[in-house]
Homo-oligomer: A and B are copies of this chain.
Amino acid sequence: MSESVELIPGNTLITATPQEGRELAIKMARLIIKVTQPDAEVRGRLRGIYAEDAAMLIAVGQTVATEFAVIAAANNYWR
């Protein structure tokens, strides 16, 4: 892994809206997979696997929820 890979788009956890915070959570989760498996072709093949697997889809949701918890706190929940 090259540490110079962008891991957080914009290098901030602050977003204008909850929707944008959710999009950031999805991107952050994907970028961790990208640094762990840098080969785009392999990632594409694996995406085809987890997108068709109920248990893995649920696990993706769990990870995004964990990422989002941090982003939501950073934004004081957009209250």
Closest to A35 in B: B26
Copies in the complex: 6
Task: State how many angstroms separate the Cβ of A55 from the closest Cβ of chain B.
Answer: 6
Interface majority SS (helix, strand, loop, mixed), chain A: helix
| CB within 8 Å for A26 and B11 given contacts A49-B54, A56-B58 | no
| CB within 8 Å for A18 and B26 given contacts A42-B52, A50-B54, A77-B74 | no
A42-75 vs B, CB cutoff 8 Å, 1 = contact: the mask equals: 1000110111111111111111111111101110
- The reply to whether B8 and A79 form a contact with Cβ atoms under 8 Å apart is no
A1-32 vs B, CB cutoff 8 Å, 1 = contact: the mask equals: 10100111001111001110011001011001
